[in-house]
A and B are shown apart, each in its own frame.
Chain A
Amino acid sequence: MLHELTLSALTANLAAGKVSAREAMQACLDRIDAVDDRVNAFISLDRDDALGQADAADAALAKGDTHADKPLLGVPISLKDLFCAKGQPVNCSSRILGDFRSPYDGTVVRKLRDAGAVLFGRVNMDEFAMGSSTENSAFGHSHNPWDLERVPGGSSGGSAAAVAAQECFASIGTDTGGSLRQPAALCGCVGLKPTYGRVSRYGVVAFASSLDQVGPMARDVRDSAVLLGAIAGQDPLDSTSVPVEVSDYTAVLGGDLKGVKLGLPTEYLTDGIDPEVRAAFDAAVKQCEVLGAEIHEVNMPHTEYGVATYYIVATAEASANLARFDGIRYGERVEGDDPFSLYCKTRGRGFGEEVKRRIILGTYVLSSGYYDAYYLRAQKVRTLIKRDFEQAFETVDVLITPTMPIPAFKAGEKTDDPLQMYLSDIFTISCNLAGTCGISLPCGFTSEPKLPIGLQLLGKPFGESKLLQIAHAYEQATPWHNERAAL
């Protein structure tokens, strides 16, 4: 079936004239009609616009445009609900943006269009990317295609659910503390968080500006490499994007792991990891050894402080970033007698629970009398966490860990206890604090019910090629990426 293809298989078929972009787009729309009432990955869909873009891609193919120049020509790709695409709504899965429509294309959207992609649909997320289960959405929960009673992870849960349910060939999301890797692990996708500064964030609604990074959600490692190549690069409109050349990330794929040094952080392998997750992880490490990798134990002594550091830094930054949602220039407004009451009422009604909690926490840790005790201390511990990575990377190329200590949990299981929800991010969070790159790919399944398990690889800053090369070698030696959720 057309909708089951990888992105790379689809482009091969498009190039050979075996399928048209319109057929590929229509296959996604048909699939959405068949399954999305159960998955609820999509918030909205502009069908006419999507088919119009597909027709334009077919016209470009007919006049001789190739995938060498436009690597995503004719490929339907969905966007997490925080990317600005001209004329389209953006809600960040929140009420507060009301009927906002983007006045411009953000850089990633522009780059995807330049690469020929058919951008369609906004997929669900935790409100303002705050959450690990896509349960914090004003547009309803999304469901895990492997078991509809379970969460797809978050915050890019709609992206992972849509890719796993084969409603699109790939999706673009963001990762602030694991928001691409964690849902990828729970839904059996490949989620890549590029190095901080690798991808422009112009036109992406900000959560925590020193941590946020844009990345692809895909079916396999090759697709991830193609997508990263399309979106990466310095951008004059984002002064935090870094002037490092973008290499051909697909060029390094293939081959074994001879001479590759993988680091096993002992602090990650403590109690609290589900036995089936641990067994799949241990088997994955063995598989990498079989492929020629050397395994070295490394110490990351500040790992246990990652979650506490993250929830101070991220909420502090969020409290500043989300100050712009005040009911004055865009979005919903609740009238008040004076500006102060207008702000308080608008924000009280417009934001959901988790967003309110985090803004209030972030405001508190930055407030007079508490700044040094919380925020400044967290910034210093962040330095220690980054040093852990720097020291580990002196002896190894890439770190190998489980992505999540547990498989997908049931909806409602953790919603009453935010702290327990936060602690489930323990393996993904440090990567964002250190600003390095990471990827999650499937490494097996639990037995009953059958749920995907994720393997995480963490690389050096701007070491995406190495990360993708290792991930690809492991993936190609194992059957997991060929499994599809039965819906």
Chain B
Amino acid sequence: MAENDFDIRYAANLARIALSPEEEAKFGIQLGDILGYVKKLEELDVDGIEPMAHAVPLANVLRVDEVRPSLPRETALANAPKQANGLFIVPKIVE
């Protein structure tokens, strides 16, 4: 019942998660089984059925666009793994 074309490396790369070779092998089989199981949904005819994103009868909830208090910069940066000069420090992105 496994999903044969499931490519664990491709999916893990899209998810930005580095896996060990052991994890790749184990998750590949487990997720193949799970994808095989969810194929069960193909038994149903869903033509003409509206997809449902959530259960509440609300759409486009808006508020007045006004300035309100927010976290001070030091507080927002307090949990950063690396920071300097009031900024988050990240690896170089462009040469």
Contacts and interface: CB of A to CB of B under 8 A. Distances in A.
Interface in B12-68: 12-20, 23, 27, 30-31, 33-35, 37-38, 40-42, 44, 46, 49-58, 61, 63
Contacts of A104: 71
A247 interface: no
A333 to B, nearest CB: 4
B81 interface: yes
B52 A382 contact: yes
Contacts of A335: 91
B17 A351 contact: yes
A409 interface: no
B31 A357 contact: yes
B50 A383 contact: yes
A383 B56 CA distance: 13
B84 interface: no
A333 B71 contact: no
Give the contact-size bracket for chain A: 35 or more
A364 B8 CA distance: 9
Contacts of A326: 16
B63 A379 contact: no
A418 B53 contact: no
A349 B90 CA distance: 18
Nearest to B16: A343
A380 B46 contact: yes
Given A240-B56, A360-B31, A331 B81 contact: yes
B56 A197 contact: yes
Interface in A432-461: 433-436, 461
Does more than half of chain A's interface fall in helix, strand or loop, or is it mixed?
A: helix
Contact of B53 (A307, A379, A422): A379
Interface stretch (A10-18, A144-152, A308-316): A308-316
B34 to A, nearest CB: 6
Contacts of B38: 308, 311-312, 374, 378
A336 to B, nearest CB: 6
B52 A383 contact: yes
Contact of B17 (A304, A309, A348, A386): A348
A333 B82 contact: yes
A156 interface: no
Give the contact-size bracket for chain B: 35 or more
Q: For B8, B15, B34, which residue has the most chain A Cβ atoms within 10 angstroms?
A: B15
A353 B26 CA distance: 10
Interface string A248-266: 0000000000000000000
Contacts of B91: 335-339, 342
Contact of A379 (B52, B56, B58, B82): B52
A332 B82 CA distance: 10
Nearest to B12: A360
A478 interface: no
Interface in A328-385: 328-333, 335-340, 342-345, 347-349, 351, 353, 356-357, 359-364, 367, 374, 376-384
A418 B82 contact: no
Given A308-B37, A363-B11, A384 B17 contact: no
Q: For A104, A330, A331, A340, which residue has the most chain B Cβ atoms within 10 angstroms?
A: A330
Contact of B16 (A347, A384, A419): A347
B75 interface: yes
A303 to B, nearest CB: 12
Contacts of A178: none
Contacts of B42: 377
A479 interface: no
Nearest to B62: A239
A202 interface: no
Contact of A363 (B14, B44, B55, B57): B14
A103 B78 CA distance: 8
B80 A330 contact: yes
Nearest to B78: A103
A275 interface: no
Interface of A: 98, 100-101, 103-104, 196-197, 209-210, 236, 239-240, 242, 302, 304-305, 307-309, 311-312, 319, 323, 326-333, 335-340, 342-345, 347-349, 351, 353, 356-357, 359-364, 367, 374, 376-384, 386, 418-419, 422, 433-436, 461
26 contacts: A196-B56, A197-B55, A197-B58, A236-B63, A239-B58, A240-B54, A242-B58, A302-B44, A305-B44, A307-B37, A328-B88, A330-B80, A335-B91, A338-B91, A356-B23, A360-B17, A364-B14, A364-B31, A367-B11, A379-B51, A379-B52, A380-B50, A382-B52, A383-B52, A422-B34, A436-B55
For the complex of A and B, 6 pairs with smallest distance between CB atoms: A435-B55, A348-B18, A379-B51, A330-B79, A333-B81, A239-B61
Given A360-B27, A361-B31, 16 more contacts: A103-B76, A197-B55, A236-B63, A239-B61, A242-B58, A305-B41, A311-B38, A328-B80, A330-B81, A332-B81, A338-B93, A364-B6, A367-B14, A379-B51, A384-B49, A422-B34
